[in-house]
């Protein structure tokens, strides 16, 4: 942009601020010129070309997934989402499952609230119909901020980073693990809570079968249906044809989640749509102590990928600041992509503490009626309370497998056990 244009823009913004104060930062931004500056702010405080903060995905060797870096708020990214899809609802019979799909969204008191039963409103794999591994109704009660603000740094890890408009959660990671010293793939385990240093991916590999359907989804114990990648059954005909962006979910930090396509020019809603490319790449060399690539090919484990800034369209949380149909002034937002990480593994904003009230993994009621106070434990461990709360909840609340929680957060299990408040039954 020419210097004269910048001067005029700066004077215009200054006049607007003086006139209306700081009530709505997003309202003060111009639709075309602010996106590049804000995108640079979102990515600041990270050395050029360096991977995100953190040692590895889930605390295991060699990965580059964010490790709970909370960062400082970026005021210019504050968004007002209160006028978008506040009354979205789903109430249809899924004839294939014989279950009603129910979801009701609402906005009040600074929160976007979801009350749902977690039943998908589209066709699923036949393997989830019947008595063997059926989808069952859950109790979903989750809130996220109406005025999210992105933060500097590499983002906070999130096990369940978003909820679809239909009320089904996104849960991209797995509990499958392999040890470094295996000599056969049969020595690995797909079961949640498994031991081993190497974390399996559900998608993008063919060594292990997690039983996903055409929506890149499957069922956890307790009948919890959830997405690991692109939820094809949720997508409109226009989006499937590459003719429109589509908001399909809200992330737990309050920012929107879109499917596959974004504008080629982040500042122009009239630019062509293009498939969003993530910025994670397979490592050129396997990590030390990794199981042999002759036994398990690269791309099977989370640690096989590294974030390479600028190699794609998106940041380490699979997001960017750009204009969208719902937010023509620009907003930070995430994408479900066709390549790793498929669904973001971290969030740039701050999840609402009530996000811990999602469905438990065993299909029981939400664990949020009397949640433990984790603030001191989080401070002691050097992570955010929201990240710790969500990790505990995703691993069955107060009965959580603490080894699994420690792996997911990238912290030492002994330190986690020492920091946590005592369980009621011990």
Helices 385-394 and 402-409, axial angle in degrees (round to 10): 140
Tokens matching residue 58: 């889930």
Please check whether residue 422 lies inside any domain of the structure: no
By the 10 Å C-beta count (0-12 exposed, 13-18 middle, 19+ buried), 1 is classed as exposed
Backbone angles phi, psi at 111, to 5 degrees: -130, 150
Is 362 contained in some domain? yes
The domain total for the chain is 1
Owner of token pair 């020492």:
418
CA distance 337 to 156: 19
Q: Where are the beta strands (DSSP E) in 109-216?
A: 111-116, 140-145, 156-157, 162-164, 169-170, 177-178, 198-199
Where is 37: in which H helix or E strand? helix 34-42
3 within a domain of the structure (yes/no)? no
The answer to whether position 425 is within a domain reads no
* Number of CB atoms found within 10 A of residue 173's CB: 25
Joined together, the tokens standing for residue 126 give 């036949």
Rounded to 5°, the CA angle 67-166-173 comes to: 30
Q: Determine the pLDDT at residue 57.
A: 36
Q: Would you tell me how many other CB atoms lie within 10 Å of the CB of residue 243? A: 11
The predicted pLDDT at position 310 comes to: 96
Is position 345 within any domain? Answer: yes
User: What is the residue-level pLDDT of the chain in tens, covering all 426 positions?
Assistant: 433 343 333 434 333 333 333 333 333 333 333 344 444 444 433 322 233 333 333 333 334 444 455 789 999 999 999 999 999 999 999 999 999 999 999 999 999 999 999 999 999 999 999 878 899 999 999 999 999 999 999 999 999 999 999 999 999 999 999 999 999 999 999 987 778 999 999 999 999 999 999 999 999 888 999 999 999 999 999 999 999 999 999 999 999 999 999 999 999 999 999 999 999 999 999 999 999 999 999 999 999 999 999 999 999 999 999 999 999 999 999 999 999 999 999 999 999 776 544 433 333 333 333 456 787 777 667 677 777 877 776 665 445 678 778 777 777 776 787 778 765 443
In a domain, 406, yes or no: no
CA distance 5 to 175: 52
Considering the domain boundaries, does residue 364 fall inside one? Answer: yes
Residue 198 lies in a domain: yes
Q: Where are the alpha helices (DSSP H) in 137-254?
A: 237-240
Range of the domain at 167: 25-371
The whole-number pLDDT of residue 366 equals 33
Q: In this structure, are residues 299 and 282 in contact, taking their beta carbons and an 8 Å threshold?
A: yes
pLDDT of res. 47 = 28
In 289-411, which ranges are E strands? 305-307, 319-322, 331-336, 346-347
| Confidence (pLDDT) at 362 | 31
311: which residues sit within 8 A by CB, 6+ positions away?
A: 279, 281
């Amino acid at each position: 942009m020419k210097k004269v244009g910048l001067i005029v823009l700066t004077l215009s913004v200054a006049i607007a601020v003086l006139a209306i104060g700081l009530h709505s930062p997003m309202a003060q931004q111009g639709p075309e010129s602010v996106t590049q500056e804000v995108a640079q702010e979102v990515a600041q405080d990270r050395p050029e070309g360096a991977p995100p903060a953190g040692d590895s995905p889930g605390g295991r060797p060699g990965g580059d997934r964010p490790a709970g870096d909370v960062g400082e708020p970026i005021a210019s990214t504050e968004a007002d989402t209160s006028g978008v899809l506040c009354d979205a609802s789903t109430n249809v019979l899924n004839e294939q499952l014989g279950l009603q799909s129910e979801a009701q969204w609402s906005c009040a008191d600074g929160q976007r609230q979801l009350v749902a039963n977690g039943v998908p409103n589209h066709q699923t794999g036949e393997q989830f119909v019947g008595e063997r591994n059926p989808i069952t109704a859950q109790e979903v009660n989750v809130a996220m901020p109406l005025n999210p603000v992105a933060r500097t740094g590499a983002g906070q890890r999130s096990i369940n980073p978003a909820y679809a408009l239909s009320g089904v959660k996104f849960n991209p990671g797995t509990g499958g693990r392999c040890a470094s010293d295996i000599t056969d793939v049969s020595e690995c385990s797909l079961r949640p809570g498994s031991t081993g240093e190497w974390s399996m991916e559900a998608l993008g590999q063919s060594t292990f079968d997690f039983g996903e359907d055409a929506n890149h989804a499957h069922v956890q114990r307790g009948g919890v249906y959830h997405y690991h990648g692109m939820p094809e059954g949720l997508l409109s005909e226009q989006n499937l044809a590459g003719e429109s962006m589509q908001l399909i979910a809200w992330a737990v930090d309050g920012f929107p989640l879109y499917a596959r396509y974004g504008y080629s020019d982040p500042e122009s809603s009239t630019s062509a749509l293009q498939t969003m490319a993530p910025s994670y790449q397979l490592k050129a060399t396997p990590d030390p102590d990794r199981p042999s690539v002759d036994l398990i090919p690269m791309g099977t484990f989370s640690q096989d990928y590294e974030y390479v800034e600028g190699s794609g369209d998106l940041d380490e949380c699979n997001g960017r600041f750009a204009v969208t149909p719902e937010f023509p002034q620009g907003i930070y937002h995430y994408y479900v992509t066709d390549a790793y990480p498929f669904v973001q593994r971290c969030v740039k904003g701050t999840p609402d503490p009530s996000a811990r009230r999602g469905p438990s993994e065993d299909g029981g009621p939400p664990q949020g009626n009397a949640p433990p106070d984790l603030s001191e434990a989080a401070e002691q461990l050097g992570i955010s309370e929201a990240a710790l709360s969500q990790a505990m909840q995703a691993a069955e609340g107060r009965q959580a497998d603490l080894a699994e929680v420690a792996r997911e957060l990238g912290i030492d299990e002994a330190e986690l056990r020492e920091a946590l408040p005592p369980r009621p039954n011990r």
